[in-house]
A and B are shown apart, each in its own frame.
Chain A
Amino acid sequence: MKLSKDGWAGLAVAAASLFLFWLTLGLKDNPLVPIGPGYYPRIVLGVTAAFALALLLWDALHPKPSPPRERLNYVLVLEMFAVFGLYVGALPYVGFRISTFFYIAATNALLDRPERGKGWLRVLAVALITTIVVYYAFERYLTVLLPRGRWTNF
């Protein structure tokens, strides 16, 4: 039996929802209310697991020919996620201004690799201007406080 993407997705969702369902069995009922905190989650997780298993079963019983593979740049997607993950991770430590500057510069360079000094200048200028504009627009004019860095206090 060879599973397609649908089958694997069904399997993963079924496993996760059954695990969470098992966790709800440990929730204690409250005598003040007729239904406990686990009542609705059990319904939702039960229904989710049922749909996921149905998807798995459907995929196993109705195998589909695999679609033609498109040449997509997954490496770039991974790099984008990694840079964004680093940005989110760095935000509370180095603060909004520094991390945003580096994030914009890195993403811009990733998507449109600068080949000469002029290109790098463009990357840095875009990062600097965007960071300053966003920071001032939110902190000064829209009274939205942006994260300060624990390490930098900036």
Chain B
Amino acid sequence: MFELLGAGLADMMQVKYLVPLFVGTLVGVVGGALPGITITMTVIVVLPFTFGLEPLQGLACMIGVYVGGETGGLITSCLLGIPGKPSAVATTFDGFPMARKGEPGRALWIGIWASIFGGLLGAIVLVAATGPLAQLALQFGPWEYFALFVLALSMVAGLVESSLLKGLLSGALGCVVTILGNDPVMGQPRLTLGIGWLEGGIPFLPVLIGVFAFAQIMSDVERFSRTPEAVNTAVNLVVSHAKVLAEILARPFLLLWSTFIGLVIGVLPAIGGSAANMLAYDQAKKFSKRPEKFGTGIPEGIIASEASNNANVAGSLVTIMAFGIPGDAVTAVMLGALTIHGIQSGPLFISQNAPLAYGMFAAYILAHPLVLILLFLGVRWVLRIVTVPKSILFPVVLVLCVVGAYALGNAMATVYVLLASGVFGYLMVKFGFPLAPFILGVILGDQIEINLVRSLMTDSDLWLFVTRPISALLLAMAVGSIVLSVWQHRRMQKRAATEGAADF
């Protein structure tokens, strides 16, 4: 393992890989810092640029975007009080008050260093756990894969903040997208509604790009203001790094626990850093001896939020590399990039593509010092870039989405899918449907069908799904996750009702 990692690091130090990684990291930092531009959108914008690259170059670039974006998001959170991305919301709670108290440099660098520590601690788990988990998954038959994908869908549907029913319906709608087009066994056309290009099925990348890009951009357009944010780029960011490091390292439990939370949330499919940073912040407050100080500008709040959201990246990479299930929307785009290059993700990924897999680990590790260098040199420039008007940014992003969709098959059909998905994604947001289960359904729907068919072709006995131990365990966990979320939802409703009564 260490030999392969060493080789991966040596590969990644070559100019041809280091340049895309550096560019990706830079774009990620900027995209993460831009309020209203999420990391998913940044990686979607970068995607078409990776088509002409080698697989590892493209993936290194995307990993750079991911790591850079997670760290870049804290810049505006701390200095402007506007989270650059959802996974930096909790950073704002203490980062901005600290900056307002006259310590913007301290707030910023505590966040940056905590991100680096969280990310690198996550790297240890990423490298150590991915291989063994993939080995475990290699023992799976179609029954277990079917159960695993059903578990992933039910967990995502259950973990979304809105209603469980909407989460489940959203996941089911994602699966509906995958049944349009030829059936995967005999290639017989089905549900094509007379549309010729639907016979090949609907590729998931234009759906993902359309849903996320339009949902985000149009939600911003609804509240669009022509007056740009006033940004003070002349803030004093000078700080003693030794002191900042001492502040972080004096809280080892907080750092480790927040990293652990980030990793676990990352491993869970399609949840993402927005949940990780809030949960880590909440946990830090609960464990703190001075919880009343949270929100007033204390380092604990920044450390918890930033360590967890960067560790979350490592967790997401574990899930996609070991099981082929995206940990969030960014890794879903990476999955699409792998597919474009003809690489099959899943448990065989590491054993069949060891140099690529260890190259990805190396890219993830090296992205952290690159972020550090970039921010040492150019935090102030990033603050300037934040002032780019959205009236310019939005059309450019949408044009790049069109290019990305078109380049998938050099056909307009994928662009039409992009447009239809965009409208559908926006409507989903307006009707309060969560997007994550939908996207996971679109990605896993095919796999669920293929494994169901394979299992029934091997043995038509449906009882095997519940008599094979791993499959039974996974299906029981799927049911358990739904029961648990129903219970949690009821408890929250009761609590809300009690609090409401107390208010009167």
Contacts and interface: CB of A to CB of B under 8 A. Distances in A.
The 10 closest A-B pairs by CB, nearest first: A37-B183, A111-B391, A112-B391, A142-B52, A107-B395, A72-B222, A48-B172, A41-B179, A51-B169, A40-B449
A40 B179 contact: yes
B447 to A, nearest CB: 12
A104 interface: yes
Given A9-B431, A13-B169, A130-B396, A77 B407 contact: no
Interface in A81-110: 81, 84-85, 87-88, 91-92, 100, 103-104, 107-108
20 contacts: A5-B432, A30-B185, A30-B186, A37-B185, A38-B190, A44-B175, A44-B179, A48-B172, A48-B173, A51-B168, A51-B169, A72-B222, A80-B221, A84-B422, A87-B402, A88-B402, A104-B396, A111-B224, A134-B399, A134-B403
A44 to B, nearest CB: 5
Interface residues of B, number: 63
Interface in A112-154: 112-113, 126, 130, 134, 137-138, 141-147
Contact of B457 (A33, A37, A144): A33
A143 B415 CA distance: 19
Contact of B406 (A5, A32, A147): A147
Contact of B412 (A35, A54, A147): A147
Contacts, number: 165
Contact of B453 (A13, A33, A54): A33
A6 B223 CA distance: 23
Given A35-B453, A91-B412, A142-B51, A41 B222 contact: no
A32 B183 CA distance: 14
B391 A108 contact: yes
A34 B456 contact: yes
B221 A44 contact: no
Contacts of B422: 81, 84
Contacts of B400: 134
Interface residues of A, number: 63
B472 interface: no
B432 A6 contact: yes
A23 B191 contact: yes
Contacts of B191: 20, 23-24, 41
A27 B396 CA distance: 43
Given A91-B412, A138-B407, A81 B218 contact: yes
Given A34-B460, A37-B188, A104-B395, A77 B169 contact: no
Interface of B: 48-49, 51-53, 163, 165-166, 168-169, 172-173, 175-176, 179, 183, 185-186, 188, 190-191, 217-218, 221-224, 226, 389-392, 394-396, 398-400, 402-403, 406-407, 410, 412, 415-416, 418-419, 422-423, 426, 430-433, 445, 448-449, 452-453, 456-457, 460
B222 A76 contact: yes
A65 B232 CA distance: 42
A122 B289 CA distance: 55
A81 B188 contact: no
Contact of A17 (B52, B176, B217, B398): B176
A32 B453 CA distance: 13
Given A9-B433, A144-B51, A111 B188 contact: no
A17 B49 CA distance: 37
Nearest to B225: A73
B166 A45 contact: no
